[in-house]
Structure 1
Amino acid sequence: MDGGTSCRAAAAHFEVSTSSAIRWRRLAPQHGQVVARPRGGDRHSGKIGAHGDFIKGLVTELGDITLVEVQARLMERGAPVGIVTVHRFFARHGIMRKKNLGTRSSKIGPTS
């Protein structure tokens, strides 16, 4: 676009919308070069990460607390997060929530 090409022509060449080419052209002087921001990644961990000590305290205090109960406690604190966000927090911090089966299975063997 710096070589005298119009934004419309550049948009057609790169198969993007004209408005997108115009936005890119406006960004060039601000940043020195025009590059796309990284795509994907985790955008939500900061929201729940701020409550990390609280969550770890709950797990320590109430060992058998469920993800739904953690989510409800966070909502009470004004942090509306999804259940998947809570699950990912647990996974990221190595907090395992596995049911303890106290009884053996009643199945003896394969049935024919």
Structure 2
Amino acid sequence: MNILDKIKSVLDMPDVKLGYLPDKPDGVTALFEYQGSPPDHHFTGTDIIENVQVRTRDTTSAAAYAKAKAVVSILNRYHDNEISVLQSTPILDIGYDNANPQRQEYTVNFEIRRY
């Protein structure tokens, strides 16, 4: 399973999109993969390190921030037999999009170790 599919299944939230941020709906959460650190080699094996950015958007700042906060509460320090997740940035306000009316966006990044 690729990392975006895995994170989406962990989140188990409505309106989560993978690899793109669609124009609709107004309230949405999107997951993007970006370059991670080199693999961590050790005597018991190798950990693959991947990074995922989460972008949330909604019609109000409070609603968009609440989506980001909900993601953080699920993912930060999450672990199972496949992955462990740590938040690597605070929730950042990235402003409004170009829609009419404008919608507020937030972003937060996570480092994921795959065993």
- Same fold, TM exceeding 0.5? no
Higher relative contact order (CA 8 A, sep 6+): 2
Q: TM-score, normalised by structure 1?
A: 0.22
The structure that is helix-richer by fraction is: 1
* TM-score, with length taken from structure 2: 0.21
Structure having the higher strand fraction is 2
Please say which structure displays the higher CA radius of gyration.
Answer: 1
